[in-house]
């Protein structure tokens, strides 16, 4: 994880030797281990490169990097596959070595087509005056652009700023491909032209259509003085995933599970599916590919350099290198179970569980009643009272944080402890009051969520920011102690719902348009995930000097799921708690999970109860006034906090 930035000026009066203080501060928070700036001046333009490194792999490598020919490279990414990077090597150095040896455009595109893993980058070619930049296929790393002064300057950055004079001018660089700008030509013509090298979508026949769609969408949001055109050489990046299997049954679709559709969700119901040899084989294939994805994301991390040899022997002195955004739901439980396979046994795993304060009268007793009806999915009242008693003895306001995700999170913790009692599972109870939410949204989070601006972005952005900060309580045996997670890597389950029909809108689409409609909904969900979720989440988590990693969006995982017909991934004629994400529930059963395999989907904003804290009658798609331009008074408050 890094904070990368390049500020380009085409006129002498706009030349600047440093970034604005607020932007520099936001970048440094992302990369606390190394900060460096580099100025490249030409008679026609000036480029100020700024790199801020979060050290996770190999030797600490400061950015920006420059070679003997004056080429400059900024990299915010992880190479998990496609290009060989040894455990002791740094992928920034490896990528720059490859780039420096590229002889032409085709070589550069071939390089980025091979990389598997999240990335955003900025690359300056001194000899040609070209500036290349872009994000990976899914947009797992944030990159924003900001054009100003009628084309006299522009800026690329991992994160932006929000002040009254530049509000809403930062936009996310589309994850449509790689962009290139000829700096010399731009400075002479005074016309900003961006060349796009798009991903090769679906098939060669559809490339032109997809390019036109991409160009239309990009041109609609950039200033009128910026032109976006497809590169004249017609070169493309190769898709890192296989296309979605849109196959439909040859005979009229007749769910062969109708005879059990009226049975409540139980583990036994799921086990019926696993008696089918083909189903069992497909489920095992998912477990295998997802396990490898998790393994790649939890190994090769900085170890216990800060401990003496004698301290390393004491398990209680070990600190977690990996944390999981943890609700106790199916996605986070599967990730935790697979992480347990690969993380050294004497290393703790932090489970980050966030809850927002509720009024005592809104404690979800109805949820408990509902769960009593789900026999094998039931969390017994005895267990709930024991959990509440233990936590209340240590935290006076425990009842005000007994939100649904806290209840399922504690139940999930018990499952994990039963599966591996030798592991230290740090269940971090992160409690957020309304006052703290409003203060930190105003001073920090609103900067990070922007340029996204809906009520949904506000709810999820705030919930993820507080969760990934990792400041909370460890409650054990009726005692609580304050705790702050030091894990630099945070695993999240995003991508599972999008691919496996986990949202209620998937069920609605299936009911109205059948399997064909469901296929199109899944295709749309995956296609928009870069602009809807991932850039925002990367900015929010990165603000703590931590790196988000997404196992469900590993290229091999996505390709495997894309290869399956939709009815092998979900069966939406079955009730909630079984039908959505069916294949993942079956994988959970195979991994030995119990109640968590049957939990219905619950969105983070509702499970954490952040959606109930302020205006309850807003729509998720409404623009959120709480994220809008902050006042000068708030700006002064923010500066005081920074100092």
Render pLDDT for 578-618 as a digit per residue (tens, 0 to 9).
999 999 999 999 999 999 999 988 888 887 888 878 777 78
| Angstrom distance (rounded) from CA 220 to CA 335 | 39
What residues contact 323, with CB distance under 8 A and at least 6 apart? 349, 350, 351, 352, 428, 468, 470, 485, 487, 489, 490, 491, 546
pLDDT tens digits, residue range 450-506? Answer: 999 899 999 999 999 999 999 999 988 778 899 999 999 999 999 999 999 999 999
Smallest CA-to-CA distance from 5 within 15, 14, 28 is with 28
Instruction: Specify the residue for token string 């998937």.
Output: 506
Q: What is the pLDDT of residue 302?
A: 62
Global pTM reads 0.88
* Residue 640 CB neighbours (<10 A): 9
**Cis? peptide before 451, omega within 30° of 0:** yes
Q: Of 42-51, 87-96, 249-258, give the lowest mean pLDDT range.
A: 249-258
Q: What sign for the dihedral angle of Cα 91, 122, 214, 1?
A: positive
- Say if residue 245's pLDDT is above 50: yes
Q: What is the pLDDT of residue 282?
A: 97
The residues pairing with 76 across neighbouring beta strands, listed in sequence order, are 120
pLDDT tens digits, residue range 546-557? Answer: 999 999 999 999
Q: What is the pLDDT of residue 316?
A: 54
pLDDT tens digits, residue range 188-227? Answer: 888 899 999 999 854 455 555 666 777 777 887 788 888 8
When pLDDT is averaged across residues 426-452 and rounded to a whole number, the result is: 94
Smallest CA-to-CA distance from 113 within 143, 73, 83 is with 83
| Angstrom distance (rounded) from CA 183 to CA 195 | 12
- Say if residue 334's pLDDT is above 90: yes
220 torsion bin: left (phi>0), alpha (psi -120 to 50), beta (else): alpha
Consecutive H or E run containing 134: strand 130-135
Q: What is the pLDDT of residue 178?
A: 95
Q: What is the pLDDT of residue 603?
A: 82
Strands 226-230 and 130-135: unpaired
pLDDT tens digits, residue range 342-361? Answer: 999 999 999 999 999 876 54
What residues contact 154, with CB distance under 8 A and at least 6 apart? 7, 8, 145, 146, 147, 148, 192
The residues pairing with 193 across neighbouring beta strands, listed in sequence order, are 227
Q: What is the pLDDT of residue 540?
A: 97
| Angstrom distance (rounded) from CA 282 to CA 570 | 13
Would residue 2 show up in a list of annotated catalytic residues for this protein? yes
Smallest CA-to-CA distance from 550 within 296, 174, 347 is with 296
Q: Is 599 exposed, middle or buried (0-12, 13-18, 19+ CB in 10 A)?
A: buried
Q: How large a percentage of the chain has pLDDT more than 70?
A: 84
> pLDDT grade, residue 386 (50/70/90)?
very low
When pLDDT is averaged across residues 130-157 and rounded to a whole number, the result is: 92
When pLDDT is averaged across residues 88-104 and rounded to a whole number, the result is: 93
Please give the order of strands across the beta sheet that includes 153-157: 34-41, 46-53, 2-9, 153-157, 144-148, 171-172
205 torsion bin: left (phi>0), alpha (psi -120 to 50), beta (else): alpha
What residues contact 212, with CB distance under 8 A and at least 6 apart? none
Smallest CA-to-CA distance from 196 within 159, 226, 160 is with 226
Q: Of 207-211, 251-255, 400-404, 450-454, give the lowest mean pLDDT range.
A: 251-255
- Say if residue 365's pLDDT is above 60: no
Domains of the chain (ranges plus CATH)? 2-238 (3.60.20.10), 265-642 (3.40.50.620)
> pLDDT grade, residue 57 (50/70/90)?
confident
When pLDDT is averaged across residues 257-278 and rounded to a whole number, the result is: 77
Q: How far from 617 is each of 157, 544, 612, CA to CA, in Å? A: 35, 31, 9
When pLDDT is averaged across residues 112-135 and rounded to a whole number, the result is: 96
Strands 192-200 and 237-238: parallel
Q: What is the pLDDT of residue 163?
A: 62
Strands 479-484 and 471-476: antiparallel
Strands 471-476 and 425-432: antiparallel
Q: What is the pLDDT of residue 373?
A: 42
Residues, the chain: 643
User: Rg (Cα) of the chain, in Å, rounded?
Assistant: 25
The full DSSP string for 339-353 is HHHHS-TTS-EEEEE
pLDDT tens digits, residue range 568-589? Answer: 999 999 988 999 999 999 999 9
User: To the nearest whole number, what is the mean pLDDT of the chain?
Assistant: 85
Two tokens, residue 205: 């026949």
pLDDT tens digits, residue range 533-546? Answer: 999 999 999 999 99
Q: What is the dihedral of CA 559, 565, 566, 572, to 10 degrees?
A: -140
């Amino acid at each position: 994880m890094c904070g990368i930035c390049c500020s380009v000026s085409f006129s002498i009066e706009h030349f600047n030797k440093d970034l604005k203080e607020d932007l520099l501060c936001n970048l440094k928070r992302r990369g606390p281990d190394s900060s460096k700036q580099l100025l490249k001046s030409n008679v026609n333009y000036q480029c100020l490169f700024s790199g801020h490194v979060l050290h996770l792999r190999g030797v600490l490598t400061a950015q920006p990097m420059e070679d003997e020919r004056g080429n400059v490279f900024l990299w915010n990414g992880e190479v998990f596959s496609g290009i060989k990077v040894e455990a002791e090597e740094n992928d920034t150095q490896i990528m720059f070595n490859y780039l420096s040896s590229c002889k032409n455009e085709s070589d550069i595109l071939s390089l980025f087509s091979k990389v598997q893993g999240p990335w955003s980058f900025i690359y300056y070619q001194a000899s040609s005056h070209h500036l290349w930049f872009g994000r990976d296929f899914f947009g797992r790393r944030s990159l924003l652009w900001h054009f100003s002064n009628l084309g006299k300057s522009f800026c690329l950055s991992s994160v932006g700023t929000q002040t009254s004079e530049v509000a809403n001018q930062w936009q996310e660089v589309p994850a449509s491909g790689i962009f290139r700008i000829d700096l010399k030509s731009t400075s002479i013509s005074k016309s900003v032209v961006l060349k796009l090298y798009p991903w090769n979508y679906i098939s060669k026949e559809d490339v032109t259509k997809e390019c036109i769609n991409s160009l239309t969408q990009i041109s609609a949001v950039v200033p009128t003085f910026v032109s976006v055109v497809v590169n004249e050489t017609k070169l493309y990046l190769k898709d890192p995933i296989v296309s979605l299997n849109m196959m439909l049954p040859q005979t009229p679709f007749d769910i062969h599970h109708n005879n059990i559709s009226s049975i409540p969700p139980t583990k036994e119901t799921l086990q019926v599916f696993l008696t089918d040899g083909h189903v069992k084989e497909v489920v095992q294939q998912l477990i295998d590919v997802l396990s490898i994805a998790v393994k790649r994301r939890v190994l090769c991390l900085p170890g216990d350099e800060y401990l003496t040899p004698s301290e390393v022997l004491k398990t209680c002195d070990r600190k977690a290198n990996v944390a999981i955004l943890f609700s106790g739901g199916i996605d986070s439980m599967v990730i935790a179970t697979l992480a347990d396979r690969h993380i050294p046994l004497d290393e703790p795993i932090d489970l980050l569980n966030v809850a927002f304060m509720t009024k005592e009268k809104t404690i979800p007793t109805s949820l408990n009643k509902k769960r009593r009806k789900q026999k094998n999915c039931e969390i017994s009242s005895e267990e709930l009272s024991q959990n509440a008693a233990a936590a209340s003895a240590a935290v006076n306001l425990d009842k005000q944080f007994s939100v649904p995700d806290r209840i399922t999170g504690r139940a999930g913790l018990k499952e994990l402890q039963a599966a591996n009692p030798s592991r230290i599972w740090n269940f971090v109870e992160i409690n957020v009051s309304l006052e703290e939410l409003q203060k930190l949204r105003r001073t920090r989070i609103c900067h990070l969520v922007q340029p996204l601006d809906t009520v949904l972005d506000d709810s999820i952005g705030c919930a993820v920011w507080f969760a990934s900060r990792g400041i909370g309580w460890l409650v054990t045996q009726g005692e609580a102690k304050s705790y702050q997670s030091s894990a630099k890597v945070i695993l999240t389950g995003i991508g599972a719902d999008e691919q496996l029909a986990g949202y209620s809108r998937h069920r609605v689409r299936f009911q109205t348009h059948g399997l064909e409609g469901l296929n199109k909904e899944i295709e749309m969900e995956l296609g928009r995930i870069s602009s809807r979720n991932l850039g925002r989440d990367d900015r929010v988590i990165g603000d703590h000097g931590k790196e988000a990693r997404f196992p469900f969006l590993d290229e091999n995982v996505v390709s495997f799921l894309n290869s399956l017909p939709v009815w092998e991934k979900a069966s939406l004629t079955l009730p909630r708690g079984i039908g959505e994400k069916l294949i993942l529930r079956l994988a959970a059963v195979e991994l030995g999970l119990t109640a968590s395999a049957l939990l219905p989907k619950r969105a983070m904003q509702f499970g954490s109860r952040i959606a109930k804290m302020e205006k309850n009658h807003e729509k998720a798609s409404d623009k959120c006034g709480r994220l809008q331009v902050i006042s000068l008074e708030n700006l002064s408050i923010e500066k005081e906090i920074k100092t």
